[in-house]
Amino acid sequence: MSKETHAKENPHVVIIGAGFAGLQAARDLDNAPVQVTLIDKQNYHLFQPLLYQVATAGLSPEDIAHPVRAILRGQDNLNFRNTEVIDVKLTEQRLVTKTGELHYDYLIIAAGGTHNFFGLRSVAAHSFGLKTIEEAVSIRNHVLERFELANQENDADKRRAMLTFVVVGGGPTGVESAGALSELFYKVLTKDYPRLNFKEVRILLLEAGQNLLPAVPEDLQEFTTETLWKKHVEVRFGAMVTDFDGERVTLKGGEIIPAQTLIWAAGVRAAGLIDMLGVNQGSLARAIVTPTLQLSEHPEVFVIGDAAHCEENGKPLPMNALVALQQGSAAASNIWRLLQDDKCEPFIFHDLGSMATIGRNSAVAKIGSLKIKGLIAWLLWTGVHIVRLAGFRNRLFVFWKWFWDYIFYERAVRLITKE
């Protein structure tokens, strides 16, 4: 029997999304008696946790992205399609993509998440998100352009607005972005712009709640806040943004902050594809799934990662890479069980901890009951992120660039490009 004939007789598993969840599911279906089709509108897997490093000139886009075909090379039962899904016909078990239609026996939806601006249209129109390579490069270009313009601006008020950078959101992305901007400005750009008065530079981290990094204990939250202040980051709590027109940030209560840069890290929701399914949605527009990660009315469909509303102890699981990876494996395992006429098993999340870097020699981490901060946490964070990168080349290049930056205080990618 030829390989093509065998593939046609096998059940067809389609996976939407080559992020952490989808890629893990595809890997775990290697050697399964199925034909797997992985679909993504990008031809690469993006390591999103380091996207802020591209935005702050620490890494190049190719350092944190790796071709999907290279990652899954050698997996004989898999076909990758670089296209975008525009509709899902659940009752017909059919997908509509920009390059044609696909029928499936099992479907894994790992479409990921997107920005949540909470209805603030002006903020959505003028701020910078941080979910894609294009957005990260846009931030890098914009930030460097502000310094170039400020270096030529004689009006003090205009110059200060150019040099005011607002980051909204006190989660890991906001904290890490603010810390990285501080190091870029005060360790690197001070050498590039000796005529600029860096006392005019402001970095504000605005959090609508009363603490940073809600996933870590209170003492680590306080350490994070104190460290950011030492890095010249103004941390403000109870600061809710209501408007941004590209020149002024307006807060609830009426305060106006002249600024030309707002990086939005305050909200995320499920990708728009989930809205098309016509299924029950929970918090942040995520599809409500059964404990086995299936849609209740369509058990042949699994929803995982940021797109899935899956509860544990009455609370939805967080939208992060650790949950996505484990759900990817769980969905693949349950498809294996269905192929053997066995029952699917409920998903149980194993919390391995959380961590965030604040900058050079400083990070916080919670692993089980263990709380770590400072240099040791930073070394742990560095090691974990290098190991998790896809591709040996990426790991080598990221390690080398971080080492170079650590020794010489030099960011290698201070380029204003047309990307």
Active site residues per annotation: 176
Tokens of 165: 């950078």
> Crossing angle for the helix pair 375-388 and 392-408, nearest 10 degrees?
150
In this structure, which amino acid lies at residue 327?
A: Q
Task: Write down the residue that tokens 């249209």 correspond to.
Answer: 121
Six token digits for residue 418: 């047309």
Distances (CA, A) of 345 to 25, 37, 332, 333, 334: 15, 24, 11, 9, 7
Per-residue exposure over 130-159, b if at least 16 CB sit within 10 Å of its own CB, e if not:
bbebebbbbbbbbbbebbeebeebeeeeeb
Task: Report CA-CA distances (Å) from 106 to 90, 281, 329, 388.
Answer: 11, 21, 15, 28
Helices 20-28/321-339 angle, 10° precision: 30
CA dihedral 401, 402, 407, 410 (to 10 degrees): 60
Query: What long-range pairs does 90-94 form, CB within 8 A, spacing at least 24?
Result: 90/277, 90/278, 90/279, 90/295, 90/297, 90/298, 90/301, 93/300
With helix as H, strand as E and coil as C, how does 254-304 read? CCEEECCEEEECCCEEECHHHHHCCCCECHHHCEECCCCCEECCEEEEEEC
**CA distance linking residue 60 with residue 54, whole number of Å:** 6
What's the token pair of residue 191? 């050498």
CA distance 364 to 169: 17
Report the Cα–Cα distance between both ends of the chain, in Å, rounded: 48
Alpha carbons 336 and 390: distance in angstroms, whole number: 25
